Amino acid sequence: MAGVGEAASILALANFAYDTSKKLYEVVSSFKSRRTDIREVQSSLTALVFVLQLVQQQILESGDECKYEPLRQPMQCCISTGEDMQKSLDACTQRSNDVHASIRDWLKMQFHGKSFADMKQRLTSYQSTLSIAFASVNIQDHGTTQESIEDMKGLIEGTKQDLIDQAEKVEEAIRDAAESLRDRLRADRAQIQGALGALKQAQQVANATRPGIMIKENRAGHDARAIFGTDILRPQFDLRVSNNTVEERATMAAGVHSTETLQALLKSSGKSELALLLQTLQSPLR
């Protein structure tokens, strides 16, 4: 990849991926083409630029680049495919000043053993892989529903099958290609395998994640009682609490409560009980 090395920081990689994708998006959009293939590429690039913008923002805000290391392989895949599309497009526009002729040539062009359709499918799959990897990094930081977890698993499975189909197509191309193209096609195969590895990691995160409920920034007023949680012994969700406050003679609790505990919490709390409740609220419950 021109402009960024394998050892680049995650933020540097995200910045480079963003710049590369945005530049390609702007060029493709300037054609103002209504062709379905071009509009599909625009859609994939729009989604890619959006998620990369979020990645940049979160890395800068968190200051923890290691957390986002699972995004490295998907971003490298997106960069490589974007560069291929840009180079093939440049070759077409250099041959003609006619936009329609350039688009027509681009749609018919073979570049490094790949057709436009191959590159378009690869871009869509890698964008989806990056979005999934990004979601898996964030899923533990926020409350999530069972429905959203199942949606994520469905997206993982669909993207995985698309990549497997593309990998099989590349295997066929390697067997039939001239020797001069085989190294490039093997690199394509390695990238697809890397994306599949990122999906496998995201699948493990999804399988290990339970729905979560976040209780935060609530206030129990004077003499009030605020009780959050369940009386089910082993709930199928994680309850997290933070930044909750209580006023004088107020009661607040979050967690799994027995009948006896609920009855006690409904009574007026003394200072010692209030301190205990506040201590409980300071730590997420698992």
| Range 90-128 burial, b when 16+ CB lie within 10 A, else e | eebbeeeeeeeebbebbbeeebebbebebbbbbbbbbbb
Strands 212-216 vs 238-242: parallel, antiparallel or unpaired: parallel
Mark whether 133 and 19 lie in a shared domain: yes
Dihedral sign of CA atoms 114, 74, 196, 184 in order: positive
Domain boundary residue, one of 180, 208, 236: 208
Q: How many domains does the chain have?
A: 2
Residue 41 lies in a domain: yes
Among 208, 233, 266, the domain-final residue is 208
CB atoms within 10 A of CB 213: 17
Band of residue 156 on the pLDDT scale cut at 50, 70, 90:
very high
More confident residue, 74 or 62: 74
Contacts by residues 132-136 (CB-CB < 8 Å, ≥ 24 positions apart): 132/156, 132/159, 132/198, 132/199, 132/202, 133/70, 133/71, 133/74, 133/198, 133/199, 133/201, 133/202, 134/51, 134/54, 134/55, 134/71, 135/202, 136/70, 136/201, 136/202, 136/205, 136/206
Paired residues of 240 in beta bridges: 214
* pLDDT above 70 for 4: no
Residue 254 counted as domain residue: yes
The per-residue pLDDT of the chain, averaged, comes to 83
Q: Are residues 45 and 140 in the same domain?
A: yes
Q: What is the dihedral of CA 146, 147, 152, 157, to 10 degrees?
A: 100
pLDDT category of residue 52 using cuts at 50, 70 and 90: very high
Residue 47 reports pLDDT greater than 80: yes
- Please give the residue range of the domain that contains residue 132: 10-208
Q: Do residue 79 and residue 92 come from a single domain?
A: yes
Residue of 102 and 192 predicted with greater confidence: 192
Ordered DSSP codes for 13-42? HHHHHHHHHHHHHHHHHHT----HHHHHHH
Q: How confident is the model at residue 142 (pLDDT cuts 50, 70, 90)?
A: low
